[in-house]
Amino acid sequence: VGMVFQRFNLFPHMTVLENIIMAPVSVKKLPRDEAIAQAEQLLRKVGLLDKIDAYPNSLSGGQQQLVLIARALVGASQNILLDEPCSALDLANQQLVLQLISDLAHRQKRTVLFTTHDPTHALQVANQTLLLLPDGEWLAGESAAVLTEANLQRAYGLAVRKVHPPGSALPLLAPQFTIRR
């Protein structure tokens, strides 16, 4: 199982490359050369190949998150658990990670379980969704059926609208709130 935790747990005394290949080489017994090749490929995919020799303290929070995702994927884990994988990322990197998650689940047929506070992410990527509601209640099922305006209003306590932007295949979920000045 490949895992990405919400808290960054990179080893500060190791480079990005060393952080990524440590577990696959020592625990999964992946040959070092193979682990390095996979790490380089993943770092290229997330736009961090130039940071391969950097130490975690020189990276932004979003870059550290991308390194953790790469670490979870080296060694080809069939099952991947991600706790808020987009939480520290800008919009472009959120889309990059969501595309990566989608590719893992839909093209590579891996099992991916991720948490998010942004229901649009679940709607974009997930086939199935578990929506936590107040008072310990929950809804589970196909994402489009679970992530309705009414269910999201119940979950978040504010109106949410599905918006279909022109040229977009998928709707966005937009909270309807007013900032009082």
Chain position carrying tokens 């997930």: 126
Write down the pTM of the prediction: 0.81
pLDDT at 179: 80
SS3 129: strand
Is 114:81 a contact under the CB 8 Å cutoff?
A: yes
Q: What is the C-alpha separation between 44 and 102, in angstroms, rounded?
A: 18
Q: What is the C-alpha separation between 46 and 67, in angstroms, rounded?
A: 8
- Tokens encoding 118: 């942004």
pLDDT at 8: 63
- Max mean pLDDT range (3-12, 79-88, 109-118): 109-118
pLDDT at 7: 67
pLDDT at 9: 80
Q: What is the C-alpha separation between 86 and 147, in angstroms, rounded?
A: 19
Q: Is the dihedral of CA 27, 32, 38, 44 positive or negative?
A: positive
Percent of the chain, pLDDT > 90?
Answer: 49
- Tokens encoding 120: 């649009």
Is 116:122 a contact under the CB 8 Å cutoff?
A: yes
Query: Backbone phi, then psi, for 51, in 5-degree steps?
Result: -105, 15
Chain position carrying tokens 């990524």: 20
Residues 136-154: pLDDT tens digits? 999 999 999 999 999 999 9
Per-residue confidence at 76, pLDDT binned at 50, 70, 90? low
Average pLDDT over residues 101-126: 92
Residues 21-68: pLDDT tens digits? 987 777 778 889 998 999 999 899 888 999 999 999 999 888 888 898
In the chain, the N- to C-terminal Cα span, in Å, equals 48
Is 63:48 a contact under the CB 8 Å cutoff?
A: yes
- Tokens encoding 55: 């130490």
pLDDT at 130 over 70: yes
Q: Which residues contact 21 (CB under 8 A, 6 or more apart)?
A: 30, 32, 35, 36, 39, 74
